[in-house]
Amino acid sequence: MTMMLTKQHKAAIKRSWELVVPIADTAADLFYKRLFEIAPQYRRYFKQDIAPQKRKLLAMLKFIVKSMDWPDEAWRQSVAVEDDLFMVVLALGRRHSELYRIPDASYDAVGAALLWTLDYGLGEAFTNEVKDAWTRVYTLLATTMKMGRLAVGEGSVVALRANDG
Amino acid sequence: MGRHTLVMRGSLQEFGLPEVLQVVGVSRQHTVIELRTPEGQRRGAIQMKAGQVLSCEHEGKRGSDAFFELFEQAPEMFHVFRIPDASAYPATLGPLTKLLMAAATQEREPKTQVDVKPLAARPVGSVVTPQPSAKPIETPRAHVIRRAERPTTPPPTPPLQAKHEPGPVIVGIASPKGGVGKTTITLNLALSLADSGLKVAVIDADINSDILSAVNARGKVKRGAFDLLDNPELVAESLRRTAITGLAILPACGPRVPLKAIHRSDLPEVWARLVQEVTKQADITLVDCPAGMFHATNAALEACTHVVGVFQAEILSSRSFSMFLRGLAAIPEARRPALAGVVVNMFQGRTEGSIEAFHRICNDGDRHKLFDTTIPRSDDFSRASMVGQPLRNAGRTGTPIAFLFDMLADELCSRIGVQHPAAAQPSTFIV
């Protein structure tokens, strides 16, 4: 599966996310329920109270979708590192690797749970096109996060802006 | 150049260069990816910003050539730096996606068409094929998708030597989808085989009479295969000679469409009798099957000793191609033609969908016994159609695609055990 995102993929991500927003809390519940169902061994990486984790998940997804909103033609524009998808996700990956000791293998289960949740939540709107777009985005994010253990200096400390949550 | 801030560094053994570029390419920062030897010696660098490749240099070379070189001789280490945005950006090398595609297919080299198949095994293949997940991703409706797009278990691979015994060689050309170029492949392959000295007969088993359309001869024949399904004894006088020595064609039908015969074309025995008569006139018989793998195709294939699949390098075609092996598997094993191979047709090296489809079939290349020869999409085909000739015969001044059909014919002959008369010639080079 390629990680390359075309305008059509980005549009499919945005379009489908708009349908998720009204049921975002339910979707987050479904995601963790499914994740722990298919990979119960990862439950120990989370605190008993999963609510803060759900908020972080939704904030990150919101940030990812917002990043898709940015037109390719505006590539010359300057963007702060805190608003840069690569820089933020790379640092997130570094934290998952160094602080939480999350194994690389867990990204498969998380991806499966995410797609399952989108499929369940979107129903007929989860078309092959939408599935392909989210699969590409997730593959890109998972690869970036795995590279997080290679992050140094600035690449390891960038965090999502607090107000993005 | 402004101050460099190191962002990450690592080994290209762990993450390939295409992966690193795709990930860093997402960044809207002005980045430099430096490529170094394990000893830290700088060998090249790629500057990017928001998916645009701003510049590339490698061993003194600059531009896209340097970019392509880095894929072939990438050093072992990479360092990613962020540098301050420039006040203005001059001309770029273009979007990263296009350069990656070009690097993956090596479009800049004229030998692409014949060398393109090993791509799947090359490291650069990871541009579009990162490591697959350990388990397939399950979704609530995945069973529906599986039914529609792919079988839960791969269809059985028909054995290559299923039923062929010494005797007439009959090769069916088939595909689950229409418009993939079966007729074009059939005609041009037949020309190449005839050119090598073989006596070749082509049977058009598609009632649409596409072979007559291809050579602009509709209305010029009195009867064809469908007219003869119940009168195979008339085959010898109905075969049409062509301008090519050794090549004869049995078109689908005459000026009137024999409606009754269409219903009988689903019966394997009527094709068996007809094909048997045709084989008396030829060393090798090609049967151009209708689109789809069932009904008339299934019946005609039962009369064949071998089958060649035609795969159009295009996404929709790749989705439906699973039906190729399933259709073959539906033929009783004793009567199933041996799979000679699958030829990739209409490949477009500059189109993402075509490359993606190509990768998919390559990933399953062993089961399909892919031919090494790949046929590209080319305007030469439409020019040949305009003059009413198979491409192989239309451009004696030489389109290289005609040469590809010679290669395909050679591959086919070697796989099905047919020896060219030309190959039996004395091999002394200097006399």
Strand order from edge to edge, sheet including B240-241: B240-241, B247-250, B200-204, B284-288, B169-174, B306-312, B338-347, B370-376
Chain-chain contact of A140 with B26 (C-beta, under 8 angstroms) = yes
Chain-chain contact of A116 with B139 (C-beta, under 8 angstroms) = yes
Size of interface A-B (CB pairs under 8 A): 132
Is a pLDDT exceeding 60 seen at residue A88?
yes
Residue B261 has a pLDDT of: 76
Residue A20 has a pLDDT of: 94
**Exposed (0-12), middle (13-18) or buried (19+): which is B309, by Cβ within 10 Å?**
buried
A contacts of B133 (beta carbons < 8 Å): 108, 111-112
**Exposed (0-12), middle (13-18) or buried (19+): which is B38, by Cβ within 10 Å?**
exposed
Compare all CA atoms of chain B with the CA of A151 and give the residue at the minimum distance.
Answer: B8
| Superfamily in which the A22-69+79-164 domain is placed by CATH | Globins (1.10.490.10)
Using the Cβ of A97 and the Cβ atoms of chain B, whether some distance falls under 8 Å is answered with no
Tell me how close the Cα of B339 comes to any Cα of chain A, in angstroms. Answer: 28
Chain-chain contact of B49 with A38 (C-beta, under 8 angstroms) = no
Tell me how close the Cα of A56 comes to any Cα of chain B, in angstroms. Answer: 22
Q: In sequence order, what are the beta bridge partners of B249?
A: B202, B240
Rg (CA), chain B: 26
Determine which of A2, A70, A119, A135 to mutate to test the interface with B (most B C-beta atoms within 10 Å): A2
Write out the DSSP string of B79-108. EEEEEPPPS------EEHHHHHHHHHHTTT
Grouping H, G, I as helix, E, B as strand and the rest as coil, residue B235 is helix
Residue A28 has a pLDDT of: 95
B341: left (phi over 0), alpha (psi -120 to 50) or beta: left
Domain boundaries, chain A: 22-69+79-164
| ipTM confidence | 0.92
Tell me how close the Cα of B9 comes to any Cα of chain A, in angstroms. Answer: 6
Compare all CA atoms of chain B with the CA of A75 and give the residue at the minimum distance.
Answer: B50
Token duo for residue B406:
């010679």
Using the Cβ of A151 and the Cβ atoms of chain B, whether some distance falls under 8 Å is answered with yes
Chain-chain contact of A108 with B82 (C-beta, under 8 angstroms) = no
Compare all CA atoms of chain B with the CA of A85 and give the residue at the minimum distance.
Answer: B27
Contact B55, B65 (CB under 8 A): no
Chain-chain contact of A90 with B8 (C-beta, under 8 angstroms) = yes
B173 vs B178: CA distance, rounded Å: 12
Chain-chain contact of A90 with B7 (C-beta, under 8 angstroms) = yes
Tell me how close the Cα of B20 comes to any Cα of chain A, in angstroms. Answer: 9
Mean pLDDT for chain A? 89
A contacts of B10 (beta carbons < 8 Å): 147, 150
What does each C-alpha distance from B156 to B151, B329, B368 come to in angstroms? 11, 6, 11
Chain-chain contact of A152 with B50 (C-beta, under 8 angstroms) = no
A54 vs B325: CA distance, rounded Å: 45
H/E stretch holding B271: helix B268-279
Chain-chain contact of B97 with A4 (C-beta, under 8 angstroms) = yes
Position A160 confidence tier, pLDDT thresholds 50, 70, 90: low
Domain B154-418: which topology?
Rossmann fold (3.40.50)
Chain-chain contact of B139 with A120 (C-beta, under 8 angstroms) = yes
B contacts of A111 (beta carbons < 8 Å): 133, 137
Chain-chain contact of A75 with B49 (C-beta, under 8 angstroms) = yes
Token duo for residue A50:
């999963």
Compare all CA atoms of chain A with the CA of B100 and give the residue at the minimum distance.
Answer: A4
* Digitized pLDDT (tens) for each residue of chain B, 431 residues in all: 567 889 999 999 888 898 999 999 999 999 999 999 888 889 899 999 999 999 999 988 899 888 988 877 767 899 999 998 888 887 889 899 888 888 776 544 443 333 323 223 323 323 333 333 434 444 444 433 333 333 334 444 444 444 555 678 999 999 998 889 999 999 999 998 998 889 999 999 998 888 888 777 777 788 899 988 888 888 988 898 888 889 999 998 888 878 777 777 888 888 999 999 999 989 999 999 999 998 889 999 999 999 999 999 998 888 888 888 888 888 888 889 999 999 999 999 888 888 888 988 888 777 788 999 999 988 888 777 777 777 777 654 456 778 888 899 999 998 888 876 665 555 667 76
Q: In A, residues 104-123, which contact B (CB 8 Å cutoff)?
A: 105, 108, 111-112, 115-116, 118-120
Contact A156, A20 (CB under 8 A): no
Contact B259, B154 (CB under 8 A): no
Is a pLDDT exceeding 70 seen at residue A92?
yes
Tell me how close the Cα of B88 comes to any Cα of chain A, in angstroms. Answer: 8
Compare all CA atoms of chain A with the CA of B127 and give the residue at the minimum distance.
Answer: A2
Grouping H, G, I as helix, E, B as strand and the rest as coil, residue B341 is strand
Token duo for residue B424:
């039996």
Tens-place pLDDT, residues A100-112: 888 999 999 999 9
Chain-chain contact of A90 with B141 (C-beta, under 8 angstroms) = no
Give the nearest partner residue to B138 out of A86, A116, A128, using CB atoms: A116
Token duo for residue A69:
């909103």
Contact B189, B367 (CB under 8 A): no
Tell me how close the Cα of A52 comes to any Cα of chain B, in angstroms. Answer: 26
Chain-chain contact of B8 with A112 (C-beta, under 8 angstroms) = no
Q: In A, residues 25-84, which contact B (CB 8 Å cutoff)?
A: 38, 70, 72, 74-79, 81, 83-84
A contacts of B127 (beta carbons < 8 Å): 2
Determine which of A150, A154, A156, A157 to mutate to test the interface with B (most B C-beta atoms within 10 Å): A150
Domain boundaries, chain B: 5-112, 154-418
Chain-chain contact of A126 with B129 (C-beta, under 8 angstroms) = no
Give the nearest partner residue to B26 out of A6, A78, A86, using CB atoms: A86
Determine which of B138, B139, B146 to mutate to test the interface with A (most A C-beta atoms within 10 Å): B139
